[in-house]
Chains A and B, each alone.
Chain A
Amino acid sequence: SQQGEEDPQALSIQEGENATMNCSYKTSINNLQWYRQNSGRGLVHLILIRSNEREKHSGRLRVTLDTSKKSSSLLITASRAADTASYFCAREGGSEKLVFGKGTKLTVNP
């Protein structure tokens, strides 16, 4: 399978804590993207990091990319109950086809 792998598969934290999700992949990439999916809905794009970037921020989100280890991490700081969702990484290898991982299900308890 070309899919990336996220870990953990599930994560449960308290409101205010930070949440870290990891993504590993096997082949070279042009960019790696993170998406969020609320229960029963379509996916929504969160952030994109290019292969020549090491870190990127967007609001409470921080994404890192280590191309030598073929891995990325998504950090959500000061989490809120509304952050409860599934988070997916997707890699784009140059053909405009994104390959998704299996996702991390995040639960933020109030």
Chain B
Amino acid sequence: NAGVTQTPKFQVLKTGQSMTLQCAQDMNHNSMYWYRQDPGMGLRLIYYSASEGTTDKGEVPNGYNVSRLNKREFSLRLESAAPSQTSVYFCATFAGGGLSEKLFFGSGTQLSVL
């Protein structure tokens, strides 16, 4: 039982390059999230998906796109990376509906944009 799996774990990009961060879960949770974590800023929500086929913006969506093609996978795409997007990115799933209202996190992707 892997839980929430993120790939890659580390990535270095040049300004203007594009890439997709992958997230997959085997917990059968409906909701999935992408957060970024910067020093001194805590976690900020980029996008979230309440269910397959639906996505919505969070606090800091500019410069990102997401895709929720099926229940298991939620990807985050940077079309033209900028140094301001250097951060640690976390994917999370939510077990809600009164069952267990908490987030389960992946181990993170450390992204550097030069």
Question: Quick check: A96 and B96 within 8 Å, CB to CB?
Answer: yes
Q: How many residues of B contact A (CB 8 A)?
A: 26
Question: Quick check: A103 and B42 within 8 Å, CB to CB?
Answer: yes
Q: Say whether, besides A42-B90, A48-B101, A96-B31, A88 and B45 are in contact (CB < 8 Å).
A: no
With a cutoff of 8 Å between Cβ atoms, the chain B residues found around residue A26 in the complex are none
- SS class, residues of chain B in contact with chain A: strand
**Is A11 at the interface (CB under 8 A from chain B)?**
no
Chain A, interface size category, equals 20 to 34
With a cutoff of 8 Å between Cβ atoms, the chain A residues found around residue B59 in the complex are 1-2, 99
Question: Quick check: A88 and B107 within 8 Å, CB to CB?
Answer: no
Question: Quick check: A97 and B45 within 8 Å, CB to CB?
Answer: yes
A97 vs B102: C-alpha distance when bound (angstroms)? 10
Question: Quick check: A92 and B101 within 8 Å, CB to CB?
Answer: yes
**Is A102 at the interface (CB under 8 A from chain B)?**
yes
Residues of A within 8 A of B (CB): 1-3, 31, 33, 35, 40-45, 48, 88, 90, 92, 96-103
Residues of B within 8 A of A (CB): 4, 31, 33, 35, 40-45, 48, 50, 58-59, 90, 92, 94, 96, 101-108
